[in-house]
Amino acid sequence: MATSQISLLALISVGGIGILLIGMSTLMKAAARRKAKACTAMIMGTVIDHRFMGEGRMYPVLEYTVDGTQYHVRKQFRGVKTKSLSGLPVRTQSAAYEDAKGWLHVQTGPIARLDTLAEQLWPLGSQMTVHYNPSSPDKSYVERPIVGDFATLMFNIAGILLIALSILLYVLIQR
């Protein structure tokens, strides 16, 4: 294979993966926008459980009933920002809150009980607004739609970096 063919192959393959990642991010955002636009009906849902996914990620699970059928939905966040303060000689208080942009902030001390933090944020039996699609009530979200989350941001960044890398490889191999 000639040098020009190798450089073109690197440009197309690495850059193509970058374009695919950006395309996936765009599709994820479009699907979230479509879901948010279709969820025009509202109902109050009840917090029935909490889920813990590790590394400070926690979510309330809500139950809501439409036309006699019960549905479950997990509250979503734009992302989770965790701060672990373990190892400090000063006793730190664990805390968690959701900001106005949809990020969940979790600060943990040396001894953190996420179940206690979750119960403080979303007490079992408390009510939250669930928006659902009237023609398909299982399609829903809690309180506000999350269109651009951390995953779509990472897909975009990775895609841009791969495209830049492919151009750099192309230029370096051409020399």
pLDDT digits (tens, 9 = 90+) for 78-100: 888 888 766 555 556 678 888 88
| Residue 128, pLDDT above cutoff 90 | yes
| Residue 156, pLDDT above cutoff 80 | yes
Ranges of H-type helices in the chain: 3-38, 114-121, 150-174
**In a domain? residue 100:** no
Measured between alpha carbons, how far is 173 from 175 in angstroms, rounded to an integer? 5
Q: Greater confidence, 86 or 149?
A: 149
Number of domains composing the chain = 1
Cα dist from 77 to 15, 54, 94, 100, whole Å: 30, 15, 19, 11
| Residue 145, pLDDT above cutoff 80 | no
**In a domain? residue 170:** yes
Question: pLDDT per residue over 13-22, tens digit each?
Answer: 888 999 999 9
**In a domain? residue 152:** yes
DSSP string, 44-79: EEEEEEEEEEETTEEEEEEEEEETTEEEEEE---SE
User: What are phi and psi for residue 158, nearest 5 degrees?
Assistant: -65, -40
Mean pLDDT of all residues belonging to the chain: 86
pTM, to two decimals: 0.70
- HSE (CB half, 13 Å, CA atoms) of 166? 18
**In a domain? residue 86:** no
**In a domain? residue 157:** yes
What's the pLDDT band for 24 if we cut at 50, 70, 90?
very high
Range with the largest mean pLDDT of 22-26, 34-38, 151-155, 171-175 = 22-26
Give the pLDDT mean for 110-131. Answer: 87
| Residue 101, pLDDT above cutoff 70 | yes
Question: pLDDT per residue over 41-80, tens digit each?
Answer: 999 999 999 998 877 788 999 999 999 999 999 998 888 8
Range of the domain at 1: 1-39+146-175
Q: What is the pLDDT of residue 172?
A: 85
